[in-house]
Amino acid sequence: ITGEHVTIEEGTGCVHTAPGHGEEDFEIGKEYDLPVFSPVGSDGKFTEEAGKYEGMYVKDADEVILEDLDQKGILMKKGVIRHSYPHCWRCKTPLIFQATDQWFLNVEKIKPQILEQNSEKVNWVPDWAEKRFTDGVKSVGDWCISRQRYWGIPIPIWECEKCENREIIGSKDELFRKSDQESKDIDLHRPDVDKVTWKCPKCGNRMYRIPDVLDVWFDSSIAPWATLNFPKEKDTIERLWPSNFITEGEDQVTKWFYGQQVASMIAFEDLPYREALMHGFTLDNKGRKMSKSLGNVVDPSEIVNKYGADALRLYMLNAGPVWEDLRFNWDEMEVSDRLLKVLWNSFVFATTYMSLDDFDPKAMDEKTMEENLQIEDKWLLSRINNTIKQIIKNIENRNFHKATRILESFILEDLSRWYIKLIRRRTWIEEKDPRKETAYQTLYQAFDLLLRTSAPLMPHITEEMYQKMIRPAGSSKPESIHQLSWPEPDEERINNQLENDMEIVQKMVEAGAKARQRANIKGRWPVRKVIIKADDEETKNSIERLEKIILNQLNCKEIEALTEEEFSEKIETVCQVDMESLKDQFGDLASPIKKVIQNIDSEQIRTQVESQGFIGITVEGEKIKVGLNDISLGELPEKFTKAESPYGEIVIDTSVTPEIETERITRDVVRRLQKMRKEMDLKMEEKVNVSIGVKDEKSIEYLKNREEYIKKEVRVKTLEIGEPGEVRNRRYKKKWDINNQEFELSIERIE
């Protein structure tokens, strides 16, 4: 006989066929109507059908059979072949395949309906999982639902020991109505259920349950409606079935996903779910399956004990599309842990200042709040509502990783690193002030929306924050955040133009910080002027609309936004020379050459260089040619420092006026005093007395001119400024080097 399972590329092209001991052999046997011969018992020993080999374990009989073949002169060759062979997954014993009588579901009969309804009714995530499922359904045969096990869900079929009459039992009540069983208090699993028998209605002999149990996949496939107590309670299944959403691993495409559809189609002529998400698996950092034998298992409890459940949850959601395998990485767990710490620190900032000022979220009405909202408040409320909108969109599309990253960006970039930075000084206002109150209201509303949005993603930390910040604000608040509704974005709060403006400003502030760093100008030191060369008119307008924020964040006295054309007209550029190159070529003449070139009009230099490739000059009586590689045209004067941003160039005027010098010294002193407060473990609201001693008269004058500023920033009641011997020493005293001068700072708590 012929078969497509035999190849001619290797071996003889001939294989033996045993329909009773192999799936392919069985199928081809059916095709050619061959007998299913299986002389092996369930104990792995030959039966009487094997003749002289009866009672022998099949593997032990190999050598005996070979000897018999040899004695008969029909053994052509004897040898050992190394090939793949099935073994028991637990004890590693070699297995044999054996054809046995089993119970099947006629899946072929309902395949067309399954395929049609699956295509019309089920949304598969990812979409390519649908093809895998469809291909699996098309290729699979009838479903063998019976198993021979000591434990399992018993197949509810009773068979007469004599006439083979069969009865299928549909419920526990029906079973006990038919049986002779006196007690109904029995376990319906094997072996107890096998004791339930009754008289055969046809021949009068005993009816016994068949010994088989159900395939566990059949058991789990009917679980969706079995858990709803169907068919006893039909109203529940009408309300809750079919399922909107189910999820399982990629290995379940042809198992649980498939089994549910088959069972449901048979029972209801409908599919049991409307969306199926196929998730990947968690592997080790090398992409290997975790197993004890490889020693690469990561215990989830170890992760939770170290970082908490929320960090693990965030990490797994953020790592990538949920349908892809995840390579577990401890370093990436640190990232999620840091995010939660940033969120907690932002929460502590908000609640600390709110508590100090006895903030009541119900005290300010909506109209008053709207009238006092600052531009940064409007921006944050726009951002949180836009964030919710984007998160909802991505969750609805099952892009949980994108939703999580959007949330993380809001927490890190918008809330912690930007908004809190913008409002910090407003929270320091001592008296009742609507600007401070609206900052608190904005924070409160943003946290309320943020926590509700984040609750499914990080349920524990959001619950803690809800209990401490949101719930105390009203008795009508539910006991848990998880009892609240998911927030809907307020479209009226969303201002895309403002968000675009703020993004440009943020990038400009980042570039300004880089420019300061290049010039070694500390962030707390004010600068005279910032000039922004915007890429286009729209960018210039954005900067002008939020000019005040740039002024504050870059700590500058003046800001000017210019287009590229305006910048060229207004800012005079100079020619810079490469001193290293000049020294290599001209030695000691390098400095005189630089001086001569910088005294020449830059336009004259440009004309000469562009026409002849160099500029000719005379230095100390010697004619010299300075080439193009040694000159940079169009450079800013030395008093400027600059940096690039995605929206243009930012230029900082680093020249220092007496006013700026005063502020710089003052802020350096304030910083040291604040550090001393921290070292003394003072509370934020505690007042102190301070003495500042320095020998330089100009520094004393500078500090006295800024006395009120120092008092406000350091929370000082009594402040003395003078030479070290003239001011009193407080309890805690330290010497500091500030601007190359020795300052004696002393501070004491007011008891």
The pLDDT of residue 572:
62
Residue 87 has a CB neighbour count (10 Å cut-off) of: 11
Same domain, yes or no, for 460 and 486? yes
The overall longest dimension of the chain from CA atoms, in Å, is 135
**Does the pLDDT of residue 574 top 60, yes or no?**
no
Residue whose tokens read 């000019």? 547
Same domain, yes or no, for 524 and 646? yes
Q: Give how far the C-alpha of residue 531 lies from the chain's centroid of Cα atoms, to the nearest Å.
A: 39
**Does the pLDDT of residue 634 top 60, yes or no?**
no
The reply to whether 268 falls in a domain is no
The reply to whether 729 falls in a domain is yes
- Residue 719, strand partner residues: 690
Residue whose tokens read 């800013």? 636
Residue 360 has a CB neighbour count (10 Å cut-off) of: 12
The pLDDT of residue 27:
84
Same domain, yes or no, for 484 and 613? no
The reply to whether 532 falls in a domain is yes
Residue 134 DSSP SS3: helix
- What's phi and psi for 438, nearest 5 deg? -70, -30
**Does the pLDDT of residue 2 top 90, yes or no?**
no
Tell me how many domains the chain contains. 4
265-301 per-residue burial string, b: 16 or more CB within 10 A, e: under 16? beeeeebbbeebbbbeeebbeeeeeeeeeeeeeeeee
Q: Are 615 and 605 in contact (CB under 8 A)?
A: yes
What is d(CA 297, CA 280) in angstroms, rounded to the nearest whole number? Answer: 17
- The CATH number assigned to the domain holding 473 equals 1.10.730.10
Same domain, yes or no, for 405 and 385? yes
The pLDDT confidence band at residue 233, using thresholds 50, 70 and 90, is confident
The pLDDT of residue 268:
92
Domain end residue (candidates: 494, 522, 539): 494
Same domain, yes or no, for 647 and 562? yes
Domain end residue (candidates: 458, 474, 494): 494
The pLDDT of residue 573:
61
Residue 45 in tokens: 């020993």
> Model confidence over 371-421: pLDDT tens digits?
999 999 999 999 999 999 999 999 999 999 999 999 999 999 999 999 999
Same domain, yes or no, for 617 and 677? no
Same domain, yes or no, for 490 and 547? no
**Does the pLDDT of residue 323 top 70, yes or no?**
yes
Does the pTM exceed 0.85? no
Same domain, yes or no, for 335 and 426? yes
The reply to whether 682 falls in a domain is yes
Domain end residue (candidates: 653, 685, 718): 653
The reply to whether 209 falls in a domain is no
Look up the domain containing 587 and give its range.
Answer: 574-635
The reply to whether 263 falls in a domain is no
What is d(CA 467, CA 473) in angstroms, rounded to the nearest whole number? Answer: 10
Q: Give how far the C-alpha of residue 210 lies from the chain's centroid of Cα atoms, to the nearest Å.
A: 52
The reply to whether 88 falls in a domain is no
Same domain, yes or no, for 473 and 335? yes
Residue whose tokens read 């230099």? 605
The reply to whether 117 falls in a domain is no
Same domain, yes or no, for 349 and 399? yes
> Model confidence over 358-375: pLDDT tens digits?
899 888 888 999 999 999
- Residue (of 575, 540, 582, 577) closest to 560 by Cα position: 540
Same domain, yes or no, for 456 and 389? yes
E-assigned strand segments in 551-664: 556-563, 574-577, 614-619, 622-627, 631-635, 640-645, 648-653
Residue 5 has a CB neighbour count (10 Å cut-off) of: 12
- The CATH number assigned to the domain holding 578 equals 3.30.720.200
Same domain, yes or no, for 587 and 723? no
What is d(CA 553, CA 679) in angstroms, rounded to the nearest whole number? Answer: 27
Q: Are 738 and 668 in contact (CB under 8 A)?
A: yes
User: Kind of pairing, strands 741-749 and 688-693?
Assistant: antiparallel
The pLDDT of residue 92:
86
- Residue (of 601, 629, 599, 593) closest to 614 by Cα position: 629
What is d(CA 159, CA 197) in angstroms, rounded to the nearest whole number? Answer: 10
> Model confidence over 449-462: pLDDT tens digits?
999 999 999 999 99
